[in-house]
Structure formats: structure tokens, C-alpha cells
Amino acid sequence: MKISSERLTNAHYAAHNPIWIDTPSGLARAAKAWSRQSTLAIDTEFIRERTYFAKLGLVQISDAQTVWLVDIPALPDLQPLSDILTNGDVIKILHGGGEDLEIFQQQLAAPPQPLFDSQVAAAMLGYSLQLSYERLINELLPCNLTKGPSRSNWLQRPLTDDQILYAANDVAYLPLAAELLQSRLQTEERLQWHQQDMVNLIEQTQQPVDTDKLYLKVKGAGRLNGIGLALLQRLAAWRDQQAQTRDLPRSFVLNDQELVAVAEMAASKPAISNTDIKKLDDLHPRAKRRYTDLLVELLQHKPDQPLPELPGRPDATQRKQLSEMQAVVSTAAAALNVEPALLASKRVLQSIQRNHIETGAAKLLNGWRGHLLNAKLQTTLND
């Protein structure tokens, strides 16, 4: 399959002449045009460095003939945008869309579906798992896109010409690239893989954060014991609630080192006081002023039950078994000409192995990955 020069010219023109949408009437007109399409490329530009929730500045949409730039802060009602995101007759194309999905779910309660992720599709065809949008377009089409000002201030107005061109380029060519990728997936009999992964990705996006498991992502948690871990679990959930309420990154409330230090100190005492918090060297003075009373109240009662200690370093037998599991994945990946991590990352394999050790019945891979790998992985685990 080839993309005609006329369609490339149209996409190039669209990128350099986007339609700016900052009024309800403009959004309504655009929504009518979007609803007539079978596919639309979508991207977002946002700022998140100093907030818990992303500040959405721009949503870019393209059908490869027109690029629309939706000025989110200027619009009082985004329902027409939500409607197209959830329109089951229009496939939404994103590239590495994990953050975009999260933002749409948070702010519009509307994760795009049905979905086609060009980065995932490319990985299934042998490209890098982290293939950039610019590299993808330059690989598939006779274009020469370069990385633009992605880290700039997307809430400023007016945007610069460079910002506008960068934002428009991010979607202008994506429908054409997606056509090529979908055709190749069909030829390689891997389109069903992609469809399964898109369903799973949307389901994951719609799952609420399990605050009881946030402590597992805290750096340094492994040095705590069972009661200490239970206290850390309580602290991590509290930190997340504080971060949401104040719209701050979690680390702006307490960083991981501070969180572990508080849990460790609380676990070592029958009860803690304001003085204990104020004497804690690892806690920033600003945090002491703001949170001492809250922390004492939160931690004055010890947990009823300790948590299981986190896995330690694997022994020689476990390391050998994990290497054999990785070899199974690498062999399958080589036969398919894809990166091993597309099939199962080291972290996924470690989780399978731990589950097998703890329960004797490993929870293996789902879907197409399980069809390819589960039998051999099970054999390795049972040896």
C-alpha cells in the first residue's frame, strides 16, 4: 500500500494552515465535520510539572485534510469534544497515547474509543517500543519532521508560530501513517493483537487508582518490615489524597524518602507525638510545619495486621529460572521480529514468577501473548 502524493500534499497544507477553535460555535462546526469521518488523529498538549492534574492547553485533531486546534482554556463547554471521543463510529488514532487517555478520562470522563495506537502498532511490526512520532512519520512517509517545542508553555496565549506548527504536525500525517500500519498488521495477521491491546488499554484507563497499592511504588519501601509497610501503605494513600486536594505532585507533599522515614520512625515506637515528627531529620521543615498534626493523627493507631514483606533479592535458583523465562520470550520475539518487551517485560516475568512461588499456580499472560508463550513459560516454572 502507498500513500498518494496528493494526500501527502493535503496533509502538509493542513499542518501549515490549521483551524483554530476558541468559540462554542467554532467547536460545534468542527464537531459536525468530525462526526462525518471514519478515523481521526488526536493529540494533546498540556502542562503537569507542578500539579497533580494535567493542565490541558490544546487538543489537536486531524483527518489528514484538515487540522483543528482546540483551545481548551477558552471553551466553557467541551461536550462536543467528549461526544466525538466516545463516538463508536469514529476510530481515534493516537501515538503512544497513555497520557492522553489518562487526561481525557480525568477531565472529560471520555477515553477515546474505539482506539488505534500507532506506537503500539509499529512495535508489533518490529519497530522500537518507544518509537517517536517524528521517527514513525519519517520512516513511513517521504517527510522530514523534526522534534519541536513539546516542553513549552501550552497555556500561554497567543501560542508562537513554532508551537502551532509543532502541534499541527503532531496529527496532520498520523491518519496516513495509521493506514499503512493497519494494512501491514492485516498482512502479518497481527491486527487482532492490536485490537486486543486497545481494549485492554481502555479498560486500564477506566480503572480507578488503587490507593492501597501506591506504597508498592515508593522508592525505599523494601527496607521496611511488615508493620512499617502497613504504615507506609496508609501514608502513601494519605499523600495521594493530599496531592489531589491541593493539586500538587505527590512529591511536593512528601517525597519518597520522607514517606519511608516517617513510616520507619512510627513503626519503631508504641505511639508517636508531635515532638517525634519535629525531631525527624529526614523531614523538610516546611513539611513539619504543615503536616505534623495530620501525621500524628494518621499514625497514632498501629495497623491491626502487618503486610507481607516485599520480595528480597532472588536466589540463584530463582535467577536461573527467570533467565530461562526471558530466553523463552526472546526466542519467540526473534521469530516474530519484535522486541521481547512487547511480549513480556522483565517486570512482568518477575511478577509471574513471584506469583508462582507464593501460590504454586502462576497467573500467566492473557490474550494473544498467552497463546504464544504460556505453555512454554509454564514448563519453565514447573521444572
Contacts 24+ apart (CB under 8 A), 303-307: 303/227, 303/230, 303/231, 303/233, 303/234, 305/230, 306/225, 306/226, 306/227, 306/229, 306/230, 307/226, 307/229, 307/230, 307/233
Residue 343 falls within a domain, yes or no? yes
Are residues 21 and 129 located together in one domain of the fold?
yes
How many C-beta neighbours within 10 Å does residue 205 have? 20
In this predicted structure, what is the pLDDT of residue 68?
98
Determine the pLDDT at residue 142.
95
Which residues form the domain of 141? 5-206
Whether a cis peptide bond, with omega within 30° of 0, leads into 114 is: yes
Element spanning 198, H or E: helix 191-206
69 with 159, same domain?
A: yes
Peptide bond into 314 cis (omega under 30): no
Tell me the whole-structure pTM to 2 decimals: 0.93
The strands making up 39-47's β-sheet, listed across from edge to edge, are: 19-21, 67-71, 55-62, 39-47, 91-94, 115-117
CA atoms within 13 A on the CB side of 150: 9
Residue at which a domain ends, from 206, 229, 263: 206
358 and 282 in one domain? no
Contact 203, 115 (CB under 8 A): no
Q: Can you say how many angstroms the Cα of residue 280 is from the centroid of all Cα atoms in its chain?
A: 35
Identify whether the C-beta of residue 3 lies closer than 8 Å to the C-beta of residue 179. yes
Within this chain, do residues 184 and 56 fall inside the same structural domain, yes or no? yes
Neighbours of 150 (CB within 10 A): 12
Same domain, yes or no, for 51 and 149?
Answer: yes
CATH number at residue 279: 1.10.150.80
Query: Based on the domain organization, do 202 and 217 belong to the same domain?
Result: no
Q: Give me the phi and psi of 145, to 5 degrees please.
A: -75, 145
CB 119 within 8 A of CB 95: yes
User: What pLDDT does residue 188 have?
Assistant: 97
Are 109 and 34 in a shared domain? yes
Residues 284, 327, single domain; the answer is: no
C-alpha to C-alpha distance for 306 and 286, rounded to whole angstroms: 30
pLDDT for the residue numbered 77: 97
Is residue 310 in some structural domain?
Answer: no
> 91 with 191, same domain?
yes
Total number of domains in the chain: 3
Q: Which residues contact 382 (CB under 8 A, 6 or more apart)?
A: none
Given 274, 299, 324, the domain boundary residue is 299
> Does 85 fall in a domain?
yes
Same domain? 125 vs 226? no
Domain end position, chosen among 271, 299, 327 = 299
CATH of the domain at 132: 3.30.420.10
Helix (H) or strand (E) holding 253: helix 250-253
**Residue 157 to residue 177: CA distance in whole angstroms:** 31
Question: Based on the domain organization, do 146 and 269 belong to the same domain?
Answer: no
Q: Report yes or no: 162 and 148 within 8 Å, Cβ to Cβ.
A: yes
Distance between CA atoms of 337 and 22, rounded to whole angstroms? 45
**Residue 305 placed within a domain:** no
Question: Does 309 fall in a domain?
Answer: no
Q: In this structure, is residue 41 part of a structural domain?
A: yes
Q: Are residues 182 and 263 in the same domain?
A: no
Q: Report if residue 306 sits inside a domain.
A: no
Asked whether the CA dihedral 244, 245, 246, 247 is positive or negative, the reply is positive
In a domain, 112, yes or no: yes
DSSP state string for 234-248: HHHHHHHHHHHHHT-
Spell out the per-residue pLDDT of the chain, length 383, in tens. Answer: 899 999 999 999 999 999 999 999 999 999 999 999 999 999 999 999 999 999 999 999 999 999 999 999 999 999 999 999 999 999 999 999 999 999 999 999 888 999 999 999 999 999 999 999 999 999 999 999 988 887 899 999 999 999 999 999 999 999 999 999 999 999 999 999 999 999 999 999 988 889 999 999 999 999 998 999 999 999 999 999 999 999 999 999 999 999 999 999 999 999 999 999 999 999 999 999 999 999 999 998 999 899 988 888 889 999 999 999 999 999 999 999 999 999 999 999 999 999 998 887 778 999 999 999 999 999 999 98
